[in-house]
Structure 1
């Protein structure tokens, strides 16, 4: 049995063994009588030394092989099996698969009613949640006539139940990823999203449609939940800003493209055709992801490696690096612990709770704004329902411009700030640009609201929405990247908390949109949102300046 290193031994003597040839690893272990190794207590000083070395790269845990203590890890910092060491094209291809599915999941191809439909006036009471159905669509009125439904609350619930699926999905998929890996769970979620589109398209009554839409939302939550964890798996801290921008393209641009496509396509073929369209596109992307996708979860990959080594050399003492503190945990234990993580993070970490609240408020502003847009351009500017989707081009342009700036500058700014901080990159540095971006949000909201109220040329409110989209992109992506960097190793749980909280708001808050605009009008209604946005400027600046102190005073202990 190999004796443990003495406390005063050098770091090099405690370093992990690096296999130069993966094919001969098991053989060399067997020849060295490693089958007789017993599990030694793992010295956390090794981890602390590695953390100091890796701080500039942002990789808190290198998870290297340490056979002296029966720890199975990576075969060196440049192990090609480590997802962070994959070729750059391979890493971005894996991420783009998830982003594309996020795009399909968030595209609301909702059919519209005929422009002369008398039922169109009912629009003021029927609200669609963005990112599931991002426009107030009169197509639901056609569905109501077919199902003979006159219950307004049920009509609204048909739409918002999709977002409730997003709220519950992360709580299920995040723990499953820790057991089965991200790829299997993502494939399962994507297939559920696709299959239940058939149920929606063939729904015989409105009750069944509610059930099927909830299941669609549950499946759609997979890419939203797994995307953040995948970024953490594939990219170092110095790369995660650009990666987050790439991932955000899908979920954020889907709601912009959906109303445009729905306005010109779905109206001519009926409301059910929207689900057949999503079935086709979703099925295509799911097939690509299933064929070309690779597992990225480091704990799952190392567990497979550990299992193979235990079998090949006959040593049951070998243990996955990530399971070294709890070697006897069963799958049930892992699931329960992982299921509790998002809740524990909100309770234990004030930073996580603040970010969930902050993101929910920002998404709430977006949701309420979206409820007004089709009505504005139909009623105020006499656009027919087919063309009202074009009003989303303003906010889409703003999102695109913001995405370019964030994607190109996020990582470079982090490196400059880290260099000025003695080479230490703090997660809060991701928020350095957000205060500037969020300052433009009230500008866009005031611009949009009062230009509509005074019935200026239609291009004026669309320009105002460009400011809104630009500002929101500068908030959403940095906050998501911040959560990934601040909670390394638990990024999936952190984003699960973030996604669930904002989805609950997305399912409920749009119900207040119509009464608000009816009572206050578009000018003061959007001014109310602008005042809320103004109140959101100081918190993000304070988090950038002082958030690190708060985060370090309240460390998260989940295992």
Structure 2
């Protein structure tokens, strides 16, 4: 059992004690923390969630979880759609603002860089201060920066707006994963994570198609007016449905309310674990900002999955930035025809969803014997599919071969990329529990920084190497990185055992579930939602821990 330095009992034992103390509110128990002046320890009353508590994010009502997930998916939709929307209208924008073609590529790259840098601040801050305020502030900024894009009268304004939009949009690829980890237990995360990946890629394809027609028939500025109108219409959903999902923030509020209501009348000060371990604001902010970088350089799981996803993300940006060039140069397509080719991302997303659905079935079947590594069956195939798709797209990128062959290759690429992306989110979030957002911020930083660099040089790369050899080169790199899920599958338990972060965070999350299950059994409460399909193999892994 994991023990806190501020408590004289492990977490699960403190929860059990609460049921034996009739004078305390349900979920509370006595404990102690060191005295600030070095004297006798201060007696406190730990505040935790009682069994089957609807304030516990894991056990929110189904209706509330659906509302939260819907808001998260809406945010993902807009953050992803805006990337392809910019690419498809970039030609008309550059003609109007008299900017060089490099300005269009810069807009795509700057968006990626903004989305890569900001999670180092946003995701950890959301862990310290709550998800809800981050969502609401980011939504307002996303709307404002799209307005700036629509009103731009010169290239500089347009590019600054793209970078700032990427900053606001970073919530869609970092905090969303943490939100899913907040409200779904490890056994339940597969499908919500899969929906996140599906929305990201499907909206990329649909955005390119829809705004190709908007650009040619209404003008490029209407791309941003339509996004502004629809995004504004979704704002009330966030206000009313996106409640706080970070358990430590909810427990802080509960402890504060109990202190105001009961004072010291129960023989101690009501306090949550997060409050006891709280450090000064600037220290907490610095630690939160550094944690993702620490994960990236010191945690092998985060490091290698981030590299894998960075390559997949780069190929996606090549498709976003390079598809107009490729289709116009090789096949003579106009803007609307290029927009229709973006539908390959939608088709690939659908196939990727089916692959994710099969993975969830395999996980349920093999998790009792393989543990969290049962998340890696379809990703092992997806890495190969991804490489094959790059080879197909590159080999068929020629005026002598019908365009449909290259489009088929792009569908194969997106199918593999989506499964890889969802796996990286799901597997890593489960390995890092309450710090899932920090781990995913590491991934977001690397994949967007690399993807942004590739977007800047896509046209130059295509001109210098030709489309064919540029994509074949990426296929070769993808073939090497396809070894990542195989290595994680066979050596994951040993790697995680050597990680102080992953080992401790997985243990704490599992102990909380165990304590909840025990208390429900004692009280005769339904055990639904406390299932732990990895429980058997987890016990075996204790020998590593």
TM range (shorter): 0.7 to 0.9
Structure 2 distance, partners of 1:554, 1:370, is 37
Is residue 96–residue 247 contact of structure 1 (8 Å, CA) maintained in 2? no
Deviates more, 1:201-210 or 1:183-192: 201-210
Structure 2 distance, partners of 1:475, 1:185, is 27
2:416 to 471, 483, 494: 471
> Would the alpha carbon gap of residues 18 and 510 (structure 1) be closer, same or farther in structure 2, given more than 3 Å must change?
same
Structure 2 distance, partners of 1:224, 1:344, is 19
Is residue 232–residue 488 contact of structure 1 (8 Å, CA) maintained in 2? yes
Is residue 101–residue 286 contact of structure 1 (8 Å, CA) maintained in 2? no
Shift of 1:197: 1.6
Shift of 1:14: 7.0
Deviates more, 1:515-524 or 1:528-537: 515-524
1:51 matched residue in structure 2: none
* Count of aligned pairs: 488
Is residue 175–residue 336 contact of structure 1 (8 Å, CA) maintained in 2? no
Is residue 19–residue 75 contact of structure 1 (8 Å, CA) maintained in 2? no
> Would the alpha carbon gap of residues 527 and 296 (structure 1) be closer, same or farther in structure 2, given more than 3 Å must change?
same
Give yes or no for the alignment of 1:17 onto 2:15. no
1:113 matched residue in structure 2: none
Moved over 4 A (4+): 4-7, 11-14, 152-155
Task: Please list, as runs of the form range in 1=range in 2, the aligned pairs for 1:370-519 lying within 5 A after superposition.
Answer: 370-406=320-356, 408-421=357-370, 425=371, 427-453=372-398, 455-519=400-464
1:277 to 197, 212, 226: 226
Is residue 347–residue 353 contact of structure 1 (8 Å, CA) maintained in 2? yes
Shift of 1:209: 2.3
Give yes or no for the alignment of 1:185 onto 2:137. no
Structure 1 distance, partners of 2:465, 2:159, is 32
Shift of 1:305: 0.4
Is residue 430–residue 478 contact of structure 1 (8 Å, CA) maintained in 2? yes
Is residue 414–residue 429 contact of structure 1 (8 Å, CA) maintained in 2? yes
2:514 matched residue in structure 1: none
Shift of 1:40: 4.6
Is residue 178–residue 335 contact of structure 1 (8 Å, CA) maintained in 2? no
Task: Please list, as runs of the form range in 1=range in 2, the aligned pairs for 1:58-457 lying within 5 A after superposition.
Answer: 70-76=45-51, 78-108=52-82, 132-133=83-84, 136-137=87-88, 139-150=89-100, 153-315=102-264, 317-324=269-276, 326-327=277-278, 329-406=279-356, 408-421=357-370, 425=371, 427-453=372-398, 455-457=400-402
Structure 1 distance, partners of 2:456, 2:113, is 14
What TM-score comes out, normalization by structure 1 length? 0.80
More helix by share: 2
Deviates more, 1:334-343 or 1:483-492: 334-343
Structure 2 distance, partners of 1:38, 1:456, is 73
Structure 2 distance, partners of 1:148, 1:398, is 35
Shift of 1:168: 2.1
**Secondary structure of the structure 1 residue equivalent to 2:18:** coil
Structure 2 distance, partners of 1:19, 1:104, is 49
Is residue 216–residue 335 contact of structure 2 (8 Å, CA) maintained in 1? no
Structure 2 distance, partners of 1:236, 1:134, is 35
Is residue 31–residue 46 contact of structure 2 (8 Å, CA) maintained in 1? no
> Would the alpha carbon gap of residues 226 and 528 (structure 1) be closer, same or farther in structure 2, given more than 3 Å must change?
same
Unaligned runs of 5+ in 1: 43-66, 109-131
Is residue 127–residue 437 contact of structure 2 (8 Å, CA) maintained in 1? no
**Secondary structure of the structure 2 residue equivalent to 1:75:** coil
Residues 159-211 of structure 1: CA distance to partner in whole angstroms, max 9, x if unpaired?
32222221122122123313431011101101100122222211232222222
Structure 2 distance, partners of 1:340, 1:556, is 14
**Secondary structure of the structure 1 residue equivalent to 2:187:** coil
> Would the alpha carbon gap of residues 102 and 449 (structure 1) be closer, same or farther in structure 2, given more than 3 Å must change?
same
Structure 2 distance, partners of 1:170, 1:5, is 33
CA RMSD of aligned residues (A): 3.1
1:50 matched residue in structure 2: none
Shift of 1:372: 3.5
Structure 2 distance, partners of 1:149, 1:188, is 32
Structure 1 distance, partners of 2:162, 2:150, is 10
Is residue 106–residue 456 contact of structure 2 (8 Å, CA) maintained in 1? no
2:533 matched residue in structure 1: none
What TM-score comes out, normalization by structure 2 length? 0.82
Structure 1 distance, partners of 2:78, 2:228, is 9
> Would the alpha carbon gap of residues 200 and 5 (structure 1) be closer, same or farther in structure 2, given more than 3 Å must change?
closer
1:553 to 498, 522, 527: 498
Shift of 1:419: 2.1
Residues 272-294 of structure 1: CA distance to partner in whole angstroms, max 9, x if unpaired?
22111111121122221112221
Is residue 99–residue 249 contact of structure 1 (8 Å, CA) maintained in 2? no
**Secondary structure of the structure 2 residue equivalent to 1:489:** helix
Structure 2 distance, partners of 1:409, 1:247, is 16
**Secondary structure of the structure 2 residue equivalent to 1:107:** helix
Is residue 187–residue 289 contact of structure 1 (8 Å, CA) maintained in 2? yes
Unaligned runs of 5+ in 2: 1-5, 36-41, 506-545
